[in-house]
Amino acid sequence: MSDCIFCKIITGEISSLKVYENEDVLAILDIAPVNHGHTLIFPKKHFANLEEIPKEDLAELMKVVKKIGKAMKYGMGKHGYNIQVNNDSVAGQVIPHLHFHVIPRSEDDGLELWPQGKYEGEEEIEDVLKMIKRRL
């Protein structure tokens, strides 16, 4: 896709700080990291979101996500890491090219997860469950 920043990084039109690359996947440092080492991992083929990517390509992508997470944890001496994908603009996806964020975490980094809510009873839970299940 000609306007896509990640596609331009893949072709070399835009420079990046490559963490890892193979024939299918590229991993780069995020230039605006949540924590140092925050890495963006994306397929070299353009897929706008998670629904578009074939399962075989997703499997290859996830192998790299796992590899990068493990390298952060043990190479950087971190306690763990978050894996996040923002799927579509309403969920915070800024670049419409599927990508995973892998964010190294330490006990004292100060980051918090989003607030949790609750259902207003069994009927609401059942309604939500039905809406999801009817599309599976």
Q: Indicate which residues carry an active-site annotation.
A: 99
Compute the Cα dihedral for 44, 45, 48, 52 and give only its sign.
Answer: negative
Residues whose CB is less than 8 angstroms from the CB of residue 136 and which lie 6 or more positions away in sequence, other chains included: none
Residue 31, φ and ψ in degrees, nearest 5 = -80, -10
Helix (H, G, I), strand (E, B) or coil at 134: coil
